[in-house]
A and B are shown apart, each in its own frame.
Chain A
Amino acid sequence: MSVRYVDEFRESRLAHALAAGIRSLADPARTYRLMEFCGGHTHAIFRYGVPDLLPANIRLVHGPGCPVCVLPVARIAHALQLASAHGVILCTYGDLVRVPGPQRQSLLKAKAAGADVRIVWSSLDALKIADENPHRQVVFFAIGFETTTPPTAVVLLQARALGVKNFSVHCNHVMTPPAIVGLLERPEAQAPGSVPIDGFIGPAHVSAVIGSRPFEPFAERYRRPVVIAGFEPLDVMQAILMLIRQLNDGRAEVENEYARVVNRDGNTKAQRMMAEVFERRAKFEWRGLGELADSALGIRPAFADFDAEQRFDLDVVAVADHKACDCGDILRGVKRPTDCRLFATGCTPDNPLGSCMVSSEGACAAYYAFGRARERAVAPV
């Protein structure tokens, strides 16, 4: 990768020009509440200090787009059961290993206690581990939105083609559009005057897979503009400008700022592979959002041999989140991380109680890591 193509999207001069444009367009008489759905955006916003460049009446609301944050405790319990009680080699992405499960147990703690938990950088690494350990069962604990779903589909197709006997996938893939609908269908979004979100900065990598079309029905139905944006800070600034323009005009359309990667139909080859391997679950629990219909993917019966939920006897554990934890409200954009009583006191990145503090893409972790000084300088809104 050439850094030349990175610096272009982080140019301070362009940022200030965009900031001037945003300031001149933003109506000082109103507030613009813009939700960045995706954790990648939250990360970019804080890492580059984007809020410093925005007027105070533009509020960025952090959404539920961090796959680690929305994974319910019951699914972490499955991972722990697989790694401990069933003695498998459990492979997963790094972000997941510190997520607290039941009794504040985590995969990292289970590993320290002797479970064979391995962090992989790609789904194919998990299959390789299965090949190298023919006498062990290897489970890939798959999480992520539409972005990481195609690689899981690929690994399942490969496993079947190779006739691998000791490999399976615990599927926790979730989908973006139903989550946005879930947010807008909630009671607090229906009450007049209490709508917490005026528009969405749409996800980048997710849209590269599914395209921008799936966001069109709800932009129209719920009258919320969506601008698909890349993860570079200039992308985010440009998307904010485009959203303000739409809101000022009274429009609610899906626009695509990330045209260099995303088109309306997305990656149709990836979609075909996903359709071959996965089917929609009737309902799936999201941490903070509760059960959402048609919001997650399960493995099709044709691939049942590679479905860890079929292969292993896993207990369904109902575990409530910590009573004082406001992750749910934060994921819905109703509260800010600093509104939570536990923020930076009982709950820190080193000792997370809630899921939003675990992943670097979680809103609370981003606030903790990058935003605390700003909170000190700016009075809470």
Chain B
Amino acid sequence: MNRRISPRPLDLERGRIDLSHGAGGRAMAQLIEELFEAHFDNPLLARHNDQACFEVGAGRMVITTDGFVISPLFFPGGDIGSLAVHGTINDVAMAGARPLYLACGMILEEGFPLADLRAIVASMAGAAKSAGVPIVTGDTKVVERGKGDGVFITTTGVGVVPAGVDIASDRAQPGDAVLINGSIGDHGTAVLSKRENLSFETEILSDSAALHGLVAAMLAAAPGIHAMRDPTRGGLAALLNEIARESRVGIMIDEGAIPIAVAVRGACELLGLDPLYVANEGKLVAFCAAAEAVRLLEAMRAHPLGRRASIIGKVVDDADGYVQMRTSFGGTRIVDWLAGEQLPRIC
């Protein structure tokens, strides 16, 4: 690391973000050096360019970007920082790609405590390190008090798809099996449990995790996976509807086969929410030929992030593209797109 730009280090215990931290001068350079570079530390970032330049191996490139806006910033099982790393890695991985690098844009609100920012940056750095995907370039802006929500983070990820892998939302075919790597609704419920106006006691942790290792294991077992996506906002229901629309197929799922933690079910009952529509951050849904399904399921279950993997349904012919569910009760119902945000029912 270079010699310090300011004789007095940042007060990371009691200091707060002020407008000078985004103004392009000494204070901003100090923030970047003492906080971001110190934590994200890697050779590409250390070159202090406005971009990162690197060699790319053979294969198709993948790029994705995602904005992270969440309240509260810290929640059971994670925080906005680790979420911003995991979310973007997962978006890269859902193409079957190996994620290489991340870029990160931070929008900070004037007055935001540096101690909280340090915790977030440390969490990002930890998540990036354990995923093996370094944050190699970035940007920092500060907005006036009242014009942000503490911290907004945008992360961009690049990766490479190995030859022979062709995963896309429009490739699900009638007869395909639908698999998920574990229980749904954990992230959304964990976040809700800490909302200011709703706090309730629970042991539910967010499932926030980087899934590229699991994806690599899945591709080793079943290279012909047709479609794959992570059920984040809108939950499993939105994901299934997206795939049904893009692939022009119907999907029939079996309610009894969908893993849901007891505490999540309890919380959703209490709040009048349907776990099918609740967000996840460490889950993926894969569509593959029926003949490969059991092999894929076994590979998923052998991975730590897929122990509770399950085959939850199958793709069917349906010109209308309906997603339907056989209920545990014995009937069937449509699993529709959500209209607006899922809101609590009045009674």
Contact = CB atoms under 8 A, between A and B. Distances in A.
Interface string A97-109: 1100000000010
Given A348-B339, A360-B343, 14 more contacts: A47-B274, A47-B327, A48-B327, A49-B332, A49-B333, A53-B331, A95-B343, A95-B346, A121-B344, A147-B347, A350-B340, A370-B333, A373-B322, A376-B320
Interface residues of A, number: 54
A289 B182 CA distance: 48
Contacts of B343: 94-95, 97, 119, 360
Contact of A43 (B198, B332, B334, B345): B345
Interface string B193-205: 0000110000000
Interface string B83-116: 0000000000000000000000000000000000
Q: Which of B336, B339, B347 has the most CB of A within 10 A?
A: B347
Contacts of B340: 98, 108, 349-350
A332 interface: no
A12 interface: yes
Nearest to B329: A48
Contact of B334 (A3, A15, A370): A370
Interface in A284-310: none
Nearest to B336: A369
Interface in B287-326: 320, 322, 324, 326
A67 interface: yes
A360 B345 CA distance: 8
Q: Is the contact region of chain B dominated by helix, strand, or loop, or is it mixed?
A: loop
25 contacts: A1-B270, A6-B265, A6-B266, A10-B329, A12-B328, A12-B330, A15-B329, A15-B330, A40-B347, A47-B327, A49-B329, A49-B332, A52-B332, A67-B347, A95-B346, A97-B343, A98-B339, A148-B347, A349-B336, A350-B340, A359-B345, A360-B343, A361-B346, A370-B333, A371-B333
Q: Which of B262, B334, B340 has the most CB of A within 10 A?
A: B334
Given A94-B344, A144-B346, A205-B347, A121 B334 contact: no
Contacts, number: 110
B198 A121 contact: yes
Nearest to B263: A3
B334 A52 contact: no
Nearest to B331: A49
B197 A120 contact: yes
A372 B339 contact: no
B333 A48 contact: yes
Nearest to B262: A3
Q: Is the contact region of chain A dominated by helix, strand, or loop, or is it mixed?
A: helix
B53 to A, nearest CB: 42
A329 interface: no
A373 B328 CA distance: 18
A145 interface: yes
Interface string A359-375: 11100010011111110
B334 A144 contact: no
Contacts of B346: 67-68, 93, 95, 143-144, 147-148, 359, 361
Contacts of A199: none
A233 interface: yes
A11 B324 CA distance: 20
Given A368-B336, A376-B320, A3 B197 contact: no
B333 A47 contact: yes
Nearest to A16: B330
B256 to A, nearest CB: 8
A15 B326 CA distance: 14
A233 B334 contact: no
B147 to A, nearest CB: 15
B345 A52 contact: no
A125 B329 CA distance: 36
Nearest to A10: B329
Contacts of B334: 369-373
Contacts of B333: 46-49, 370-371
Contact of B329 (A1, A205, A233): A233
Interface string A19-61: 1000000000000000000001001001111111100000000
Interface in B148-168: none
Contacts of A10: 328-329
B246 interface: no
B269 interface: yes
A59 B339 CA distance: 27
B345 A361 contact: yes
B326 to A, nearest CB: 8
Q: Which of B197, B328, B334, B346 has the most CB of A within 10 A?
A: B346
Contacts of A108: 340
Nearest to A49: B331
A233 B344 CA distance: 20
Nearest to B320: A376
Given A1-B266, A50-B331, A376-B320, A349 B347 contact: no
Contacts of B322: 372-373
A43 B266 CA distance: 18
Nearest to A9: B329
A379 B262 CA distance: 39
A2 interface: yes
Contacts of A205: 347
B8 to A, nearest CB: 37
A3 B267 CA distance: 9
A180 B38 CA distance: 69
Nearest to A372: B334
Interface in A173-211: 205
A360 B346 CA distance: 10
A349 B327 contact: no
Interface string B115-135: 000000000000000000000
Contacts of A49: 326-327, 329-333
A205 B197 CA distance: 24
B336 A3 contact: no
A23 to B, nearest CB: 14
Nearest to B332: A49
A48 B331 CA distance: 6
Nearest to A95: B346
Q: Which of B270, B327, B333, B344 has the most CB of A within 10 A?
A: B333
A93 B331 contact: no
Interface in B234-273: 262, 265-266, 269-270
**3 A-B pairs closest in CB distance:** A49-B331, A94-B343, A349-B339
A331 B332 CA distance: 25
